[in-house]
Amino acid sequence: MVNSRSLGALSVTDEIIIQDLRKEDLAALAELYEDGIPHAIFCALGKKFIARFFGWLAEREDICSLVGLGGDGQVQGVIVGTLHRSESYSSVLKQHRLSLLAAAGWRLLSPRVLVWIIRGMTERLKRHGDELDLPDAELLLIAVRSNARGTGVAYRLVQSMESRFRCMGLVGEYAILTEADNVSANRFYERIGANLVGKGYHHRLLINRYRKVIDTLASREKES
Ligand SMILES: CC(C)(COP(=O)(O)OP(=O)(O)OC[C@H]1O[C@@H](n2cnc3c(N)ncnc32)[C@H](O)[C@@H]1OP(=O)(O)O)[C@@H](O)C(=O)NCCC(=O)NCCS
């Protein structure tokens, strides 16, 4: 899925090429998602749902979606970010609801999904307005193939997303939300210089909220 700001290959170092997510990468994205974040609710909706959802998302102008390809052309990692966290998910769910419902099929009625929906509705009733004091831009997803972790692929993906965010007009910070018990992700976010600014519950899961200043990775690299 190549969006309208396609820059082709953003950068090449060693064996990894970072480029726009293409339609043919969506199956690999769904696989990485299921493998990397198996307890996420999207996994209960199935690979077809995940691929379709991120395919629709990637078509939006305010989305940056990139993949890291290995020397053999296989997807080693994926990153998706948005300039408008409050809008992008909900507009895709609204605009493409029939296609997404069809992709999820019977899984929509699984106990896990039903419990998740009910918990979300109860939380929304208890909450008054949006309590999150976070930037509108957000890193929505990052996942690296398990045998490629610890090699700098994730770091390269974040760097490329930040360059792309800058080209899309973002200055300042973006948000990162991740489960507090996702040790490797939290360690990674701290390592790249994201600041933990709060914690909160979402569907009864404890979530860490980070703010990350754009371009700190690029400037760190210039300094070294
Ligand atoms: C979160 C995640 C993407 C981080 O990936 P990662 O492999 O740890 O991150 P990197 O590829 O940048 O690797 C960094 C490590 O590789 C090392 N490294 C090796 N070569 C490197 C290079 N050229 N550049 C940068 N780091 C390099 C770093 O020193 C660092 O090691 P350390 O952990 O001992 O400090 C990965 O754990 C993952 O896919 N998790 C599952 C999905 C998930 O939970 N996503 C988050 C929620 S959306």
pLDDT tens per residue, range 54-102: 999 999 999 999 999 999 999 999 999 999 988 999 999 999 999 999 9
Q: Please state, in angstroms and rounded to a whole number, the distance separating the CA atoms of residues 30 and 48.
A: 8
Sign of CA dihedral 112, 113, 118, 121: positive
The answer as to whether 180 is a domain residue is yes
The answer as to whether 173 is a domain residue is yes
Domain of 62 in residue numbering reads as 11-223
The answer as to whether 2 is a domain residue is no
Task: Answer whether 184 contacts ligand 1 (Cβ < 6 A).
Answer: yes
Residue 173: other Cβ atoms inside 10 A: 19
**Which CATH number fits the domain that encloses residue 89?**
3.40.630.30
Q: Using the mean position of ligand 1's atoms as its centre, give its distance from the Cα of residue 102 in Å.
A: 35
pLDDT at 9: 43
Residues of the chain short of pLDDT 50, as ranges, are 1-13
pLDDT at 173: 96
The answer as to whether 5 is a domain residue is no
Q: How large is the C-alpha radius of gyration of the chain?
A: 17
pLDDT at 219: 58
2, 144, 156, 194 from 221: Cα distances, Å: 28, 22, 12, 16
The answer as to whether 3 is a domain residue is no
The answer as to whether 4 is a domain residue is no
pLDDT at 195: 97
Task: Answer whether 180 contacts ligand 1 (Cβ < 6 A).
Answer: no
Task: Answer whether 29 contacts ligand 1 (Cβ < 6 A).
Answer: no
Q: Please state, in angstroms and rounded to a whole number, the distance separating the CA atoms of residues 170 and 167.
A: 7
Q: Using the mean position of ligand 1's atoms as its centre, give its distance from the Cα of residue 160 in Å.
A: 15
| Number of separate domains in the chain | 1
